[in-house]
Structure 1
């Protein structure tokens, strides 16, 4: 993915002021920034959900987008969500989805309605839906929100495997936990991306537990 000269403003308030970013295959990158810095706006533009005021975004293949806010139908089971997205993606089977569910350890909830799942398990499904079509570029907005410690560790193992298989993975978060796992780290500040390499600190267990 290649981003060049990205600007965005809400009315007269400039949020992004010339973003340049390159995500070649086989990279695990992160963007951090304070609340209101424009991280979610940037991801919405990168995913095509929002048009920038100016600038270009070029994708080299399929991409997956896992938004911060989980968008699920509470009346549908996990399996029904997978079937819906299987059709939407034009997939022939659910093998990839089943592999991700096994990696995140929530296969046993396949026939449970999403409306009764815990926040952490809903986020597992959210991530699975973004990954099940095997995208070349994966955009993740606070992807481990609500994960317990074991799932948090499994998420990073999964992200590393994706990177090692030649995928481009971008993780956007409020704080730079586990910075040593990343190949590149950027800080979004005053509408601009700056290369940032903080001293890694121990990551606390994410809040929330799974069902």
Structure 2
């Protein structure tokens, strides 16, 4: 796995950002000419994510949270602005992207191959994820037979598999029970300790003390609370 970025004795929050977005703009176009309408969603969003930092993004429905996340991971092109990052990104989308006929084990094997992980590293990471999130008994279960909560665990686990420097999570704990919710925050704390960074999108934040910063998307711009 990759080595943490900060050196011993460094203050990670003064280190070079692991992810930086500058001037991100995005608008959606509806209808056909000459009645085509343009709806601006992001109007110049600036955002940085430092090593060992946990940042939350909140905002009302339609504020552009998921649009921003897709731009950060490269799944959607911005109309303007730049995104730069250091190291590997891990992405947990709001809606799980899985293959119905594959088991949990087969998903990890497939994603491990895509990440160019060795078989040994993939199996070691997979075992740790099963233990951390408590769903090893479903290792041989197909995705289309999983409950919503277990599917959410698999979705998160696939994002964690390659130990990314930057973890981007879109409503990651929406389907979790309280025990899994606490396990999730233990994982986040471990990543912070290791110098990794986590960006979490949520409709609302209840445990603000778990975040280093909260950023609100308001009228297409990022406003720090």
Q: TM-score, normalised by structure 2?
A: 0.86
1:5 aligns with 2:23: yes
Query: How do 1:64-79 residues align onto structure 2 when only pairs under 5 Å count?
Result: 64-79=90-105
1: distance between equivalents of 2:126 and 2:58?
Answer: 28
2: distance between equivalents of 1:141 and 1:151?
Answer: 16
2: distance between equivalents of 1:98 and 1:85?
Answer: 14
Match of 1:208 in 2: none
Q: Deviations over 1:3-40 (max 9, x none)?
A: 11111111221100111111011101100111111000
1:123 aligns with 2:146: no
Gaps of 5+ in 1: 197-211
Q: CA deviation at 1:96?
A: 1.4
Query: How do 1:24-173 residues align onto structure 2 when only pairs under 5 Å count?
Result: 24-92=50-118, 93=120, 94-173=123-202
1:23 aligns with 2:49: yes
2: distance between equivalents of 1:166 and 1:131?
Answer: 14
1: distance between equivalents of 2:189 and 2:206?
Answer: 15
Q: CA deviation at 1:71?
A: 1.1
2: distance between equivalents of 1:178 and 1:97?
Answer: 28
2: distance between equivalents of 1:136 and 1:142?
Answer: 19
Q: Deviations over 1:65-92 (max 9, x none)?
A: 1000011111111111111111111111
Q: TM-score, normalised by structure 1?
A: 0.91
RMSD: 0.8
1: distance between equivalents of 2:189 and 2:134?
Answer: 17
Match of 2:220 in 1: 191
Check whether the contact 1:97–1:131 (CA below 8 A) recurs between aligned residues. no
Check whether the contact 1:104–1:151 (CA below 8 A) recurs between aligned residues. yes
Q: CA deviation at 1:108?
A: 1.2
1: distance between equivalents of 2:145 and 2:195?
Answer: 36
Q: Deviations over 1:113-136 (max 9, x none)?
A: 111111010010011101101100
